[in-house]
Structure 1
Amino acid sequence: MAKWTGRSKARKNNIVEFGKEMVRRSKSTCELCGESGRSLSVYEIGKTDENADFERCVHVCDECKDTIKKLNKAGENDLRFLNHAIWSEENTVKAAALHIISEIEDRSRYSWIEDLMDMVYIDNDLKDICERMKH
């Protein structure tokens, strides 16, 4: 158990180290909803036992993070931030939005999600990032 705890702590420290890069990439705005002036943190999409991966991390505000954590309890408009994220120029942010959508148990509750998914173009780079987020 001590090995796992040590690895977990090292992993967390690794994610925190991404902070400066995340601030540059996000320009101090939430990468999911686009809001600025909010407290931001590094949020890793998906779970893995490997080292933290910068391409699986997004800079998010507390509101978006809380919504993701309660994903299947979110109301019709609570996930509208995905509309912003899916059109990001950063493939990591697009992949995060796609991953979040894939985690929703009942997408039919959100009338706009299927229309959004129909408009998204997924190239090979984006597909690769999406695959990493699954594992």
Structure 2
Amino acid sequence: MVDLSNYFKGEITIDEAIIKGQKTLFDITGAGKHQSLMADGVNGEQLRDMVAELKERYDVVVIDAPPILAVSDGLQIATVVDWVLYLVRWRHTSEKSVKYGLDTLENVGVNNIGLVMTMVDVREDPDSYAQKYDYA
């Protein structure tokens, strides 16, 4: 099975890396078995070119990237997309880690950042959660 690593190596076209949705309203592609595209020598220019090509074909392009603090892939991908949706696991991710991740994104020039709190249990403290709901 082919994937994005084959595309970045020049072995296939982007069309060959995309799996067309038969019963869905979207297409998909992935990095396959590889843990890190950047470890395979993928650079920012290649990512930029791929995103630009996909944006010409699709109304919306969503890239599910690894955590910013875990490996360099997520940070490099963040620099070539229009928006970053930064997911934070409620009561699991420390405030220090969240701040460090956001600071890291801003330090590399990423300004369009949305933050989403995931796995929130509103039954645990529904009043507190509702009071802190805010738009940035």
Tell me which interval the TM-score lies in, with the shorter structure as reference length: under 0.3
The structure with more helix, counted as a fraction of residues:
1
**TM-score with structure 1 length normalisation?**
0.28
Higher relative contact order (CA 8 A, sep 6+): 1
**TM-score with structure 2 length normalisation?**
0.27
